[in-house]
Structure 1
Amino acid sequence: MMPDSTTPILVVGLGCQRGCDVDTLLALFHTALDAEGIDPRRINALASIEHKRDEPGLLALANVLRLPLQFFAAEQLAVYDTRLSHRSALAFTHTGCHGIAESAALALAEQLSGCPARLLITRQKKLQATFALAYAG
């Protein structure tokens, strides 16, 4: 479902190591949002990199939260490199972009809203996963 043009778009971007379980992702999701006082029901969608399309933890998270999950190619995410709060050489080596969570959140927020997005919550890391929240509208 596409939000109307007056509703702000909130998108969570996620990165994770292979095999990261849904409980780790869910804990990170709630911890990051709770710390900022953001109601999880305000989140419109989840986003990550194409490499994670078959990652069971991410797929389970989208199912548990009942949110759409969009994947982007590394080339689509690389255009956001200059807007990242943290640029990871390791992420670049493995994926071709310097930050998955932040760039995926920005990319989908802009795609859904049709206007520039900004990071509301910069990269948060817990165990095997990273989280970021982008806002547009």
Structure 2
Amino acid sequence: MTLVVGLGCQRGCDVHALLALFDGALADAGIERQRIVALATIDRKQDEPGLRALAALLNLPLECLSVAQLAPYAEHLSHRSAVAFTHTGCYGVAESAALALAGQLAGSPARLLITRRKSAQATFALACAGDKPDNRPLRS
């Protein structure tokens, strides 16, 4: 199974704020950090230092997707944000990015395992796609 974390954030969001959201959401769901295969966000955040630092810290690729790649997932979002749409052109960066990249990597439709989690500066979502290739539990 392919597990991808989608992230959105305000400009200048600190890596520690992102890591706290990342680790907190996974811990609450009982999912081990090492199960995540990639991070995803919108392409306008490709140079965001906090996101780059988080990817480096976790040793994960950070894939930056276009609005055209994210827009088709609007109907699958748990929350549609007019504010996000005004700023980015899509209704939810974290969930859309997670769904888009998980589906792309697995070559099959993705679903949300953790819907949008929000902190003061960032959003987090976790999507999965593909068959579970082994019997390891997602929860620790």
What interval of TM-score do these two structures reach, taking the shorter chain for normalisation?
A: over 0.9
Does 1:135 find its partner at 2:128? yes
Q: How do residues 1-137 of structure 1 correspond to structure 2 at under 5 angstroms?
A: 8-137=1-130
Alignment match, 2:135: none
The Cα offsets for residues 87-123 of structure 1, whole Å up to 9 and x where unpaired, read as 0000000110000000000000001000000000000
TM-score by length of 2: 0.92
Tell me how large the CA RMSD over aligned residues is: 0.4
Amino acid at match of 1:110: G
Same amino acid, percent of matched pairs? 68
Partner-residue secondary structure (3-state), 2:116: strand
> What are the ranges of 5 or more consecutive residues in structure 1 without an aligned counterpart?
1-7
> What are the ranges of 5 or more consecutive residues in structure 2 without an aligned counterpart?
131-140
Question: Does the aligned pair in 2 maintain the 1:75–1:96 contact within 8 Å?
Answer: no
Q: CA deviation at 1:125?
A: 0.2
Alignment match, 2:136: none
Aligned equivalents of 2:69 and 2:108: distance in 1? 16
Amino acid at match of 2:64: F
Aligned residues: 130
